[in-house]
Structure 1
């Protein structure tokens, strides 16, 4: 067993402090810097006529809360996928799960242009499930399809196909303007009402993830070991898929397709806390939340005073990390 570098309890205890400072930095700094006194007054003595108060309450606060939630959801999804499949390249973006959500949202825009926020979330969940079914279905049919690199290739192909079909449909039915938000992952357009609607779904997804965390640890040792230990692998995988679908689906519904968070953070978490998924899943959640929120802050200054799309920032880190994993690990499974 790989030794721990950092105590998981230390990460979980320290994370609230880091989160608070991250929230403060996200609210204070951007294209327009806002002083702390204004932020305090905006939160506790909100003045609808004050532009800075409007920026704090209707833009920056929902933005950082959304970034924290989405980072946590995607990181936890990636951790579950990597543990369940023993595939070190598994993540919602690489396996096409996020693209499936965008595809379903595009259909929603075409078939039900007046859809509510709740409808968007439901379509996104269905799209995630659809993509998971296609990718794992194809992988199980192809020779050696479950190997990490082949699954990544299948997921990338399916994701690219769904993304291309979505773009073509959006252009043909003239809804490109409406769905551009979900293609470009604009955290600054976060909808506070959708965040509130997403919370109950998120609680179910997180509860599922934590409930099966011990079983994921056993499953990560291999199918034969899991069966020999009496684990009902089919049930565990079904619950794991349900958790991934929920967490990824609401992430895409909230802010669009954000790549590589679910790939990078689980690896960093395993490196820090070891291979026990009872710790990996919650620690990945807090590290993913902080990572995406800090990436969002960085995106504001990369090309100041213009904002860089958050997907560019995560890709700048994620693509080299992805190539490094392939170089170091080849086609093998993770330990």
Structure 2
């Protein structure tokens, strides 16, 4: 336990270091001393405004989104007992994106609070639909049925979203950067609106460590040990919707974070989800902070989306996992 607690402490220190790097680095590098002065002696200068209104919200959003997506992925892989599961499996990402695109098509624009509200409604509706489809049949909810239902809904919503964007150029221009998984242009006000949902999802997830441990042993084994499988799966679905829905609302459907980080976490700390979940949150925050920093320098003339970086890192990892499971 001492080693694991030490690891959490070291991880948190690394997160803080990367937060500082994310705030200081960019097209215009800002010394850490100037970052500090923007807190204690804000003078309204250009550098101070960049730090307070652009860099700090962006770094905090990257940290929060990375942590939430990783925890959501860890829960899904445990519940489905499928190492290829991620937040995309329940159609949560696509459900959020689909409803936002629908509203943009009908209304033309959305405020930050509206996008969060529509993202949660879409994510919740998609997650609930997948859950209900997975319970159809005499065998009840099984990991295989959950995966099939989630994949079907995910593909359907993705196709509908792309269809709307093809026929509506204005929505395409508004959404294409967000759909690539971008952390730019997000204000602290939007983070404050999403924070209660993120915190609720994190709290639920951290309190489910023991139940997830039992569920990962198998349906019959967990039930024999007195676990109410249906309630645990339902609560896990709520946690995933809160974690992934808030992340999609803030940064768009960033992929592969929820897939890759839980594998790395289990490799380092074992299968005990009382430790896997907090470690996944830390590693997820580290990964997305690194991806966002890298996104600023990959192409010197312009900045790309952090979601592109995670895709470049995650695609080979996904291929490796698929080959290993053959």
Q: CA deviation at 1:115?
A: 4.8
Work out whether 1:204 is the aligned partner of 2:200: yes
For residues 326 and 136 of structure 1, the distance between their equivalents in structure 2, rounded to whole angstroms, comes to: 25
Work out whether 1:129 is the aligned partner of 2:124: yes
The answer for the alignment partner of 1:32 in structure 2 is 28
For residues 172 and 292 of structure 1, the distance between their equivalents in structure 2, rounded to whole angstroms, comes to: 33
1:239-258 CA-partner distances (Å, limit 9, x unpaired):
10000001100101111110
1:113-141 CA-partner distances (Å, limit 9, x unpaired):
56543332222122222332444555566
The answer for the alignment partner of 1:256 in structure 2 is 252
Which one of the candidate residues 90, 101, 109 is aligned to 2:104? 109
Q: Secondary structure at the match of 1:302?
A: coil
**Aligned positions of 1:177-216 closer than 5 A:** 177-216=173-212
Which one of the candidate residues 64, 73, 85 is aligned to 2:68? 73
1:282-313 CA-partner distances (Å, limit 9, x unpaired):
11011101111011111112122422221221
The answer to whether the Cα contact below 8 Å between 1:30 and 1:300 also exists between their aligned partners in 2 is yes
For residues 319 and 140 of structure 1, the distance between their equivalents in structure 2, rounded to whole angstroms, comes to: 31
For residues 59 and 131 of structure 1, the distance between their equivalents in structure 2, rounded to whole angstroms, comes to: 32
Q: CA deviation at 1:53?
A: 1.4
For residues 117 and 303 of structure 1, the distance between their equivalents in structure 2, rounded to whole angstroms, comes to: 29
Bigger drift between 103-112 and 55-64 goes to: 103-112
1:148-196 CA-partner distances (Å, limit 9, x unpaired):
7x96676455334322312332454542233334312221212210101
Work out whether 1:268 is the aligned partner of 2:264: yes
Work out whether 1:89 is the aligned partner of 2:88: no
The answer to whether the Cα contact below 8 Å between 1:182 and 1:252 also exists between their aligned partners in 2 is no
Q: Secondary structure at the match of 2:184?
A: helix
Q: CA deviation at 1:64?
A: 0.7
The answer for the alignment partner of 1:63 in structure 2 is 58
**Aligned positions of 1:178-327 closer than 5 A:** 178-327=174-323
The answer for the alignment partner of 1:333 in structure 2 is none
Q: CA deviation at 1:314?
A: 0.6
Bigger drift between 306-315 and 128-137 goes to: 128-137
Q: Secondary structure at the match of 1:301?
A: coil
The answer for the alignment partner of 1:18 in structure 2 is 14
For residues 319 and 135 of structure 2, the distance between their equivalents in structure 1, rounded to whole angstroms, comes to: 25
For residues 215 and 326 of structure 1, the distance between their equivalents in structure 2, rounded to whole angstroms, comes to: 27
The answer for the alignment partner of 2:154 in structure 1 is 159
For residues 299 and 289 of structure 2, the distance between their equivalents in structure 1, rounded to whole angstroms, comes to: 17
Distance change in 2, residues 1:191/1:268 (3 Å): same
Compute the TM-score of the two structures, normalised by the length of structure 1.
0.88
Distance change in 2, residues 1:159/1:25 (3 Å): same
Q: CA deviation at 1:146?
A: 5.7
Q: Secondary structure at the match of 1:196?
A: helix
1:35-92 CA-partner distances (Å, limit 9, x unpaired):
22321222222233x2111211111111110000000000000001011111111101
Q: CA deviation at 1:212?
A: 1.3
| Structure 1: runs of 5+ lacking an equivalent | 331-335
The answer to whether the Cα contact below 8 Å between 1:89 and 1:152 also exists between their aligned partners in 2 is no
- How many aligned positions are there? 324
Compute the TM-score of the two structures, normalised by the length of structure 2.
0.90
